[in-house]
């Protein structure tokens, strides 16, 4: 038995289906991140786990108990939202201890709980301040403190860092990772930001259109996506996609024709079974290499014009338009190219992925790809 078992869950508002066929298993102590574009159903699913939203079909079980009809307060979960929702007239100590005071917890117990939480979240010097005297990051720490003090068996976070500036977000991510390591409590975290998801998650659950597209370790999703959506969503800058057509199949791979900006190519995907006629080749920016003048290159050579170069210091991203108009991004070293330059780029075909006309991954036999 796993800690959380979500089975065939669906949610509909009247005739509008917002979640369909959701199946997910979460182990004790896991840090799980739901990630996907705005409106894909992340918050709805989280709220169904918390009890703030009813379940239209299927079951959700926590620690072996189906909680479909259990009140939110009886589920043993604590939730932290994007809006801090602190009481403005109460101090940090007052906000953190509010739930315990409502439950008539004895004073010494409250004092000890607040002390422990203040230590965990480094709130000591802020303990007597009101929310108006705190920065955004500090307010969010108080909101997290209020969740921790209840000692829930499960933490739910809905985009808690979205209101913070970029630097503070990075810092708070590190704090959350550290907090999770120290508490060991299961956490489910919602974000639309795939970089945030990659850095926080043990398991990343990529959602789109009310369905789970794929769940797995961040790097597994990065290296081995099941479909075109996951391939394009995970990774920044995005994976490059080239439309192509299958011309023939051999035991060692597939011959492709009409490859955007290239013509023909052979993809070494051994043991591929009957691919569709139209396919898409996926290549990460780091699997492309700019060829020096006069260098021939082998395999798949793309040709085009440089539109823009993003110089990031340690690396640069070269945005190109291929001869047929397809746009790609190549990861390169410093000062790799100048705008308007005409370049040839070689692809590492051993790392290229292939997708069928229904955007599903085509895997060869024997190897991961
Ligand atoms: P996310 O958190 O991924 O951005 P939500 O879970 O908030 O997405 O919403 C998923 C979908 O459900 C959206 O299309 C949204 O418009 C719809 N939705 C959310 N709440 C309601 C509601 N009370 N009535 C009708 N549709 C809703
Ligand atoms: Mg949401």
Spell out the per-residue pLDDT of the chain, length 369, in tens.
Answer: 889 999 999 999 999 999 999 999 999 999 999 999 999 999 999 999 999 999 999 999 999 999 999 999 899 999 998 888 899 999 999 999 998 999 899 999 999 999 988 988 888 899 999 999 999 889 988 999 999 898 899 999 999 988 888 888 898 899 899 999 999 999 999 999 999 999 999 999 999 999 999 999 999 999 999 999 999 999 999 999 999 998 888 888 889 888 877 778 888 888 887 778 899 999 999 999 999 988 988 878 999 999 999 999 999 999 999 988 999 999 999 877 888 899 999 999 889 999 999 999 998 775 544
What CATH superfamily is the domain 31-55+67-232?
P-loop containing nucleotide triphosphate hydrolases (3.40.50.300)
What percent of the chain lies above the pLDDT cut of 90? Answer: 70
Mutate to test the pocket of ligand 1, among 35, 44, 206 (most ligand atoms within 8 A of CB): 44
39 lines ligand 1 (CB under 6 A): yes
Which residues make beta-bridge pairs with 243?
280
Phi, psi for residue 307 in degrees, rounded to 5 = -95, -40
* Ligand 2 geometric centre to CA of 151 (Å): 25
| Distance in Å, CA 362 to ligand 2 centroid | 32
Cβ–ligand 1 contact at 347 (below 6 Å): no
| φ/ψ (deg, to 5) at 204 | -105, 130
Q: Is the peptide bond before 248 cis (omega within 30 degrees of 0)?
A: no
The pLDDT assigned to 366 comes to 53
Cα–Cα distance measured from residue 139 to residue 350, given in angstroms and rounded to the nearest whole number: 48
Question: How much is the pLDDT for 369?
Answer: 44
Q: Closest-lying ligand to the alpha carbon of 207?
A: 1
φ, ψ dihedrals at 175, nearest 5°: -65, -40
- C-alpha–C-alpha distance, residues 196 and 361, integer Å: 25
Atom 14 of ligand 1, residue of closest alpha carbon? 39
Q: Which atom of ligand 1 is nearest to the CA of 44?
A: 6
- Domain map (residue ranges) of the chain: 31-55+67-232, 237-362
Report how far ligand 1's centroid is from the alpha carbon of 18 (Å). Answer: 7
The greatest distance separating any two alpha carbons of the chain, rounded to the nearest whole angstrom, comes to: 80
Q: Which pLDDT value is given to residue 297?
A: 81
CATH 2.40.50.140 fits 237-362, yes or no: yes
């Amino acid at each position: 038995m796993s800690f959380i078992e979500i089975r065939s869950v669906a949610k509909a508002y009247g005739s509008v289906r917002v979640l369909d066929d959701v199946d997910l298993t979460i182990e004790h102590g896991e840090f799980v991140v739901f990630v996907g574009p705005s409106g894909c159903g992340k918050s709805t699913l989280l709220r169904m786990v918390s009890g703030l939203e009813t379940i239209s079909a299927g079951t959700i079980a926590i620690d072996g108990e189906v909680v479909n009809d259990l009140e939110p307060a009886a589920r043993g979960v604590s939730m932290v939202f994007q809006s801090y929702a602190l009481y403005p007239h109460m101090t940090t100590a007052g906000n953190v201890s509010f739930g315990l005071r409502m439950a008539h917890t004895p004073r010494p117990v409250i004092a000890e709980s607040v002390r422990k939480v203040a230590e965990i979240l480094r709130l000591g010097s802020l303990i007597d301040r009101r929310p108006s005297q705190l920065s955004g990051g500090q307010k969010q720490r108080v909101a997290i403190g209020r969740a921790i003090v209840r000692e829930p068996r499960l933490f739910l976070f809905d985009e808690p860092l979205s209101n913070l500036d970029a630097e503070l977000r990075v810092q708070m991510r590190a704090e959350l990772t550290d907090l999770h390591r120290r508490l060991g409590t299961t956490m489910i975290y919602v974000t639309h930001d795939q970089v945030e998801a990659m850095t926080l998650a043990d398991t990343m659950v990529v959602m789109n259109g009310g369905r789970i597209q794929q769940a797995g370790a961040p790097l597994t999703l990065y290296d081995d996506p099941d479909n075109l959506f996951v391939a394009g969503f995970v990774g920044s800058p995005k994976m490059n996609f080239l439309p192509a057509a299958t011309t023939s199949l051999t035991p060692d791979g597939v011959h492709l024709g009409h490859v955007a900006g290239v013509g023909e190519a052979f993809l070494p995907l051994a043991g591929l079974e009957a691919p569709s006629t139209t396919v898409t080749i996926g290549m990460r920016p780091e699997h492309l290499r700019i060829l020096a003048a006069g260098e021939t290159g082998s395999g798949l050579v793309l040709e085009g014009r440089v539109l823009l170069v993003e110089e990031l210091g340690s690396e640069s991203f070269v945005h190109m338009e291929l001869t047929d108009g397809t746009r790609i991004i190549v990861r390169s070293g410093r000062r790799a190219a100048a705008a308007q330059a005409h370049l040839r780029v070689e692809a590492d075909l051993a790392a290229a992925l292939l997708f069928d006309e229904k955007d599903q991954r085509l895997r060869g036999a024997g190897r991961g790809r």
